[in-house]
A and B are shown apart, each in its own frame.
Chain A
Amino acid sequence: EAGVTQSPTHLIKTRGQQVTLRCSPISGHTSVYWYQQALGLGLQFLLWYDEGEERNRGNFPPRFSGRQFPNYSSELNVNALELEDSALYLCASTTDSRIFGSGTQLSVL
């Protein structure tokens, strides 16, 4: 059974650019959670999607957005990138606990 898959694994962008990250949850799971982990900081909750709807949102500005598709895969979009957006972006599924994908390492120069 495939786990949570994310792409790409690494990205390098410059300030002001836009980026799209992708995630597919575990087969049969309808929820996708997005987290940001900046260097030296804990995981910060970004977004939760379930059944195609945004269910909850963390304390992040509106330039962080996303969507979930009918097949339950998800995209995270970040507009107007800032240096502090450099982080490991993790996607997860399952319910009570979380199973994470291997993440996308985003570097903003």
Chain B
Amino acid sequence: RKEVEQDPGPFNVPEGATVAFNCTYSNSASQSFFWYRQDCRKEPKLLMSVYSSGNEDGRFTAQLNRASQYISLLIRDSKLSDSATYLCVVNPIGGSQGNLIFGKGTKLSVKP
């Protein structure tokens, strides 16, 4: 099983659609979790951290299921500007010592 696994997509959705991305991780002791957004040939940018209780930031909702070792990202009311690759990221031991494990990303394309 890969350390962090994501559906590569692409997800092609119309503007205004709701889209969900899933991610699974193999290390049950992993401490912290993130979603990053990466535009083509640009650096990844932190979208949001993922907390056990679930968290929301505007149109974006992230959820963590430790029992199933599963992370999700929900995007509501998709905008054209949401088109990007979304990276699921796991910090196996937390803090600065952790080598963050990056998924390969899920590509989202929002169409007019």
Please name all residues of chain A whose beta carbon is closer than 8 Å to the beta carbon of B98 when the two chains form the complex: 96
Interchain CB contact under 8 A, A100 and B43? yes
Q: How far is the CA of A42 from the CA of B95 in the complex (A)?
A: 21
Q: Is A41 an interface residue (CB 8 A)?
A: yes
Please name all residues of chain B whose beta carbon is closer than 8 Å to the beta carbon of A56 when the two chains form the complex: 97, 99
Q: Is B111 an interface residue (CB 8 A)?
A: no
Interface size on B, residues (CB 8 A): 24
Kindly name the residue among A48, A56, A96 whose own CB sees the greatest number of chain B CB atoms within 10 A.
Answer: A96
State the Cβ distance, A35 to closest chain B Cβ, in Å: 8
Interchain CB contact under 8 A, A97 and B46? yes
State the Cβ distance, B32 to closest chain A Cβ, in Å: 6
Interchain CB contact under 8 A, A43 and B44? yes
Please name all residues of chain B whose beta carbon is closer than 8 Å to the beta carbon of A96 when the two chains form the complex: 32, 91, 94-96, 98
Q: How far is the CA of A41 from the CA of B85 in the complex (A)?
A: 12
Q: Is A74 an interface residue (CB 8 A)?
A: no
Q: Is B45 an interface residue (CB 8 A)?
A: yes
